[in-house]
Structures are given as structure tokens and as C-alpha cells.
Amino acid sequence: MKWISDFIELIFPRRCLVCGNILSSNEKSLCLNCLIALPVIEDRQKAEIEKLFWGIIPIERATSYIYYRKGSPYNKLLHNLKYKDRPQIGIDIAVNAATAINESGFFEGIDTIVAVPLSKKKLRKRGYNQCDYIAKGISQVTGIPITKECVARIKPNETQTHKTREERWKNVEGIFKVTDVQKLKDKHILLIDDVLTTGATIASCAKAIIAAGGKVSILTIAYSNNSPI
Ligand SMILES: [Zn+2]
């Protein structure tokens, strides 16, 4: 039914999320120019990310894909993914991320992918968990299977915006619970989230998995070392 999609595209052309230009049929979410100019994280930011967890929780590896700067037009990507009912963006951007990261050997030895869960209330409100879509894109490229229904968010976390680093870490204590130990025990799990800021939320989830006998590596789409998004 290609003619139907061609017809729909003619009336409602898909636009690049960053610059607004009309996308060609082989471009996904971003036009080629914006894709080439994507603010991929640099080595010093990679080092910062690994340091976030030092002395707090034993993480195997941690990385991210895009560097998030306040006011950057690229922030529209995750904004649309999270708040504008555009979950497909999660797959598109994760395919790019996994393709870029794959060469470094980051995915070696990883048994399964787990998306950081949303609280039931948030899931109902949004209708989908954006991290499930990111996990799908990573799995498509790497072939690593996804494990679902093994971790739950048992407490919604309050907004982290006006909290100090210490308060944020305290605020996320015990918000996740492993609901199926067998799925995670003795496995190396790649934990997926959309944005990494202080690392407190994802560390809390990792802590629950490690307590259940799993090893954890972390991958997020974006990293921001200024204010939370
Ligand atoms: Zn563009």
C-alpha cells in the first residue's frame, strides 16, 4: 500500500524534528544534515559518565550518545519522544546510537536489554514507555534480546529539578523492585534510559538488579551535565 503512504506524505509531509525541513522517504526523524551535525558526546563527557557511578554502585560500563545542551534544537528529539506521542523516534535514534557505539565493543558480553520502567501512573498518562522503544532500536542493531516484566517502579519519584545532588540520590532510594529474579540472575544486563543527568534514577534501578544477582551496564540516548531535562 505504498501509494497510500506516498499520498499521505504528500498532504502531511514528515518534517525533520530539528530544523523542520521536509524529510525524504529514506530519512527517519532527522534530515541528513541534522544527523551529520548531531552533538555526539565527546571523550571527556564519556569519562564524566563513567565517574558518575564510581564508589556508589559497581557498573560494568556506562555510556550515552548525544550531549544535551540547554536550548539546543536537538532537545526537540527527546521532547517529542516523551511528550508528543512520537515513540517511533525512540527506535530511530536508538538505531543510530547502537550503530555508532557498536564498533567500540560496548555491547560485548551483554546477555539482555532491560528498559528502565515508568510508574504505572505515568505509563497510563503517556500511553507508552519511551525506553521500551529505545530498547527495541538497540536490539534491532545488536541482536541482543529484550527482557520485559522483570523490574517495576514501585514509587513514582518526585521532580528532581530543584534538588541538590545528595537530595536526588536520597530521593530515588528503593523506587525500583525486581519482580522476576530468575530473568536477571547471573546475566549481564544493559539498562536503557532516555536521559542521564546525575545518574541517580538509573543507579537506583541498577542497584535493584545487582541485588538480584545481575551485572549491569548502562546506555542512555542523551547525557546532560547541567540542569535536568
Ligand atoms: Zn534537519
Residue 194 pLDDT > 80, yes or no? yes
Q: What is the pLDDT of residue 32?
A: 93
Cβ pair 35, 23 in contact under 8 A: no
Rounded percentage of the chain residues whose pLDDT exceeds 90: 70
The C-alpha atoms of residue 147 and residue 96 are separated, in whole angstroms, by 21
User: Per-residue confidence at 228, pLDDT binned at 50, 70, 90?
Assistant: very low
- Verify that 32 and 111 share a domain, yes or no: no
Give the pTM. Answer: 0.90
71 domain-assigned: yes
Q: Residue 124: exposed, middle, or buried by beta-carbon count in 10 A (0-12, 13-18, 19+)?
A: exposed
CA of 102 to the centre of ligand 1 (A): 24
C-alpha distances in angstroms, 190 versus 8, 35, 169, 206, 229? 38, 25, 21, 10, 22
Residue 81, SS3 per DSSP: helix
CA of 156 to the centre of ligand 1 (A): 35
Q: What is the mean pLDDT of residues 206-217?
A: 96
CA of 139 to the centre of ligand 1 (A): 26
**What is the helix (H) or strand (E) element at residue 89, kind and residue range?**
helix 88-102
32 domain-assigned: yes
Q: What is the pLDDT of residue 61?
A: 95
- Verify that 10 and 44 share a domain, yes or no: no
Cβ pair 154, 177 in contact under 8 A: yes
Residue 54, SS3 per DSSP: coil
Q: What is the mean pLDDT of residues 84-95?
A: 93
Question: 103: domain CATH number?
Answer: 3.40.50
- Verify that 162 and 95 share a domain, yes or no: yes
18 domain-assigned: yes
Read off the pLDDT of residues 7-53 as tens digits, 9 standing for 90 and up: 766 777 889 999 999 999 888 889 999 999 999 999 999 999 989 99
- Verify that 33 and 146 share a domain, yes or no: no
CA of 89 to the centre of ligand 1 (A): 14
CA of 80 to the centre of ligand 1 (A): 15
CA of 92 to the centre of ligand 1 (A): 14
61 vs 9: which has the higher pLDDT: 61
CA of 33 to the centre of ligand 1 (A): 6
Q: What share of the chain is helix, strand, coil (3-state, %, to 5)?
A: 40, 15, 45
CA of 26 to the centre of ligand 1 (A): 13
**Number of domains present in the structure of the chain:** 2
64 domain-assigned: yes
Instruction: Give the range of the structural domain holding residue 206, as residue numbers without chain letter.
Output: 40-223
- Verify that 48 and 14 share a domain, yes or no: no
